[in-house]
Structure 1
Amino acid sequence: MSQKVNTVLGPVPVDELGKTLMHEHFFFGYPGFYGNSLYPRDDEEIMRVGMEVAATVKAHGVKTVVDATPNEAGRDPELLKRIAEKTGLNIICSTGYYYEGEGAPAYFTFKKALGSAEEEIYEMFMHEITKGIGKTGIKPGVIKLGSGKDAISDYEQTFFKVAARVQKETGISIITHTQEGTMGPEQAELLVSEGADPNRVLIGHMDGNTDINYHLRTLEHGVFVGFDRFGIQGFVGAPMDKDRVGTLMGLIGLGYAGQLMISHDTVNHWLGKAPEWPDELKKLIANWHPGNIFENIIPALKKGGVTDDQIDTMLVKNPNKIFGGSEADKAAKDKKETANLS
């Protein structure tokens, strides 16, 4: 029986996901956006933009997008479902909370003081994963976690530990946010030490760091690593895309293509009032759009000697593996045969 993953339109066979972007946002708002009543949510505009995004990525052969928006940042599975229905794109939504510095920590910080946060987070994750989000019946396909720059706070650790527990019970995959590409090895170690399956974990935004050794320390835990912020460059600690490409080529050259994924972390519609970018920053992020990988990054990788098969591995085979598809079975079989030979 084919392994399936939950999308906003229901379970889909993992082997049908095809080319996949593992970390994007159709719409996103920093917690507190809803307090500015001058800028109410514009569903018509979100649908227009969402359909435009879907058309762009589908033109490049993408069949599936993981929307990494956490619970407190404007996530709306029913609106994502409308986009999926209109466009035929597979959209996988998330359950989870953002990192403490840019999330909404007050609620669960209060519950931690009362000693009930861990069980409530567990209850929330399990209900959304097994029964659906709220009364929608729509189930997330990933747990989204995050940690801040240079530390995983006690608040954030609570979510990581509960997520590992939930993953052991449900098999759901985990994707993460690393602030400015820090704490990748620590996130991986924490999740694996708590019993998470490294084959079901993607440590995200690692392209915020161009130190090969840092990546190797993360990869040695057996997790996937995301170069998933292409187009965000020159601010918030983000390296330039050309430097990320160099780091990525280095890791591929060392034989790690089977643990790497690429995406953009685009925010295609801002909830609340959209940011007013300074002119210099506008120039820097001109390629922060859902076509950047296909129009700029892949050509640069190919120019550097990366093969079509290696690109296919990062965009098709590895997303298949993290959701437990046939590529995961092949990898497990190859690992067993190698072990038997040694």
Structure 2
Amino acid sequence: MLIRTVRGDIQPDELGRTDYHEHLLMRSPLLAGDELDDVDRSAAETAELRDAGIDAVVELTPLGCGRDPLGIATIAERTGVHIVLATGVHREAHYGPDHWLRTVQPDDLAERFVLDIVEGCSDADSIGLHGPPTDVRAGVIKVGTGYWSISGFERRVLLAAAEANRATGAPIVCHLELGTAATNVVELLAGAGVSPADVALAHADRNPDPVLHAELATAGVYLGYDGAGRTKYWPDSMLVDCLVSVAERGGAERLLLGGDVARRSSFHAYGGLPGMAYLPSVFVPRVARAGGDELVHAILVSNPARFLAF
């Protein structure tokens, strides 16, 4: 079992403390004016995250959203941070009506995902499915669904991701809009042959329901908590309480933590707040006080190493 990073494969025990969900370089119509498009600034932000105690980052920018394999590899080289890059396609809302991804057939999409993982990611993904090849390989598949909906577009992506998972073993991270449709996604992927242990549900904490989360964890699914610092929804205390409750209900081995900062207005290096280092500097100590150091080690070290290995 290995973890595939942009600088090569590593053993799971080499990964270290892992932020399972970030975007270092990204653009989308939903984030107009808030793009992450400067390698130097994003590298500086990643170095700040490293200095706050994070050893590894999963960069979940998929195809068609400004994914930059060579730029991410540069950031990894400069900072020494292990970075796992994504292949895949986001939820439908991130793609305009004329976007080239809307015309791609599911089998071609699955083939691209597999090539990104096995051979190397395509570059310049704004120009189509077969951009210039690179030797930077992906180590995770990113997909997404809408608010209580799985559109035809998203269903095709989920099935392509399932095909790529069956072919490579690479794990799948699914964006859940506001934490909805969790069981629907799990059932769809399971019906397509994906093991629950290969699935992480991003934004599970946008629906802070510890009973539901514990049920999903018991089924073998990983739960992504990546909403720290978003007080427009609720205070961090609610997320800490939910996370600890899930752990107490038997879900400690299925919890992941990420920042998903994602916007230039939220990166220190671009002049914003709270910055990627908020997760290890502010949120993680609160989890440690509420749940203990053993729980923190599971969430930041053991669980991501197990989930990402294939």
- Report if TM-score (shorter chain) is over 0.5: yes
Task: Work out the CA distance in 1 between the residues paired with 2:159 and 2:244.
Answer: 33
Partner of 1:132: 120
Partner of 1:338: none
Task: Work out the CA distance in 1 between the residues paired with 2:254 and 2:95.
Answer: 28
Partner of 2:247: 252
Compared with structure 1, are the counterparts of its residues 108 and 313 closer, same or farther at alpha carbon in structure 2 (3 Å cutoff)?
A: same
AA at the equivalent of 1:303: R
Deviation of 1:42 (Å): 8.9
AA at the equivalent of 2:298: T
| Identity value in percent | 29
Deviation of 1:268 (Å): 5.3
Partner of 1:73: 65
Task: Work out the CA distance in 1 between the residues paired with 2:202 and 2:30.
Answer: 24
Deviation of 1:173 (Å): 1.1
TM-score by length of 2: 0.87
AA at the equivalent of 1:299: P
| Residues 25 and 39, structure 2, Cα contact 8 Å, conserved in 1 | no
Q: Does 1:204 align with 2:202?
A: yes
1:60 to 20, 40, 52: 52
1:86 to 67, 74, 78: 78
1:87-236 matches, within 5 Å, as 87-104=79-96, 106-111=99-104, 117-134=105-122, 135-234=133-232
| Residues 145 and 160, structure 1, Cα contact 8 Å, conserved in 2 | yes
Task: Work out the CA distance in 1 between the residues paired with 2:136 and 2:29.
Answer: 22
AA at the equivalent of 2:253: G
Q: Secondary structure at the match of 1:75?
A: coil
Deviation of 1:227 (Å): 0.4
Deviation of 1:28 (Å): 1.5
Task: Work out the CA distance in 2 between the residues paired with 1:298 and 1:181.
Answer: 21
Compared with structure 1, are the counterparts of its residues 218 and 239 closer, same or farther at alpha carbon in structure 2 (3 Å cutoff)?
A: farther
Task: Work out the CA distance in 1 between the residues paired with 2:79 and 2:287.
Answer: 29
Compared with structure 1, are the counterparts of its residues 320 and 313 closer, same or farther at alpha carbon in structure 2 (3 Å cutoff)?
A: same
Deviation of 1:198 (Å): 1.8
Task: Work out the CA distance in 2 between the residues paired with 1:145 and 1:227.
Answer: 16
1:302 to 267, 270, 288: 288
AA at the equivalent of 1:109: R
Compared with structure 1, are the counterparts of its residues 217 and 104 closer, same or farther at alpha carbon in structure 2 (3 Å cutoff)?
A: farther
Q: Deviations over 1:292-336 (max 9, x none)?
A: 2222222322332x11011000000001111238xxxxxxxxxxx
Query: Structure 1: which 5+ residue stretches go unaligned?
Result: 112-116, 277-281, 326-342
Task: Work out the CA distance in 1 between the residues paired with 2:178 and 2:234.
Answer: 9
Compared with structure 1, are the counterparts of its residues 311 and 206 closer, same or farther at alpha carbon in structure 2 (3 Å cutoff)?
A: same
Task: Work out the CA distance in 2 between the residues paired with 1:210 and 1:218.
Answer: 13
| Residues 19 and 61, structure 1, Cα contact 8 Å, conserved in 2 | yes
Query: Structure 2: which 5+ residue stretches go unaligned?
Result: 123-132
Q: Does 1:261 align with 2:256?
A: yes
123-132 vs 146-155, which deviates more?
123-132
Partner of 2:128: none
Task: Work out the CA distance in 2 between the residues paired with 1:292 and 1:79.
Answer: 23
Matched pairs, number: 294
TM-score by length of 1: 0.79
Deviation of 1:191 (Å): 1.3
Compared with structure 1, are the counterparts of its residues 6 and 310 closer, same or farther at alpha carbon in structure 2 (3 Å cutoff)?
A: same
2:296 to 304, 311, 323: 311
AA at the equivalent of 1:62: I
Deviation of 1:13 (Å): 2.0
22-31 vs 3-12, which deviates more?
3-12
| Residues 114 and 164, structure 2, Cα contact 8 Å, conserved in 1 | yes
Q: Secondary structure at the match of 1:225?
A: strand
Deviation of 1:32 (Å): 8.5
Deviation of 1:131 (Å): 1.4
Compared with structure 1, are the counterparts of its residues 184 and 42 closer, same or farther at alpha carbon in structure 2 (3 Å cutoff)?
A: closer
| Residues 70 and 95, structure 1, Cα contact 8 Å, conserved in 2 | yes
Compared with structure 1, are the counterparts of its residues 146 and 56 closer, same or farther at alpha carbon in structure 2 (3 Å cutoff)?
A: same
Compared with structure 1, are the counterparts of its residues 251 and 269 closer, same or farther at alpha carbon in structure 2 (3 Å cutoff)?
A: same
Task: Work out the CA distance in 2 between the residues paired with 1:295 and 1:71.
Answer: 31
AA at the equivalent of 1:316: V
Larger radius of gyration: 1
Q: Deviations over 1:38-74 (max 9, x none)?
A: x8x996xx23322322222222332110101111111
| Residues 100 and 148, structure 1, Cα contact 8 Å, conserved in 2 | yes
Q: Secondary structure at the match of 2:262?
A: coil
Q: Secondary structure at the match of 1:256?
A: helix
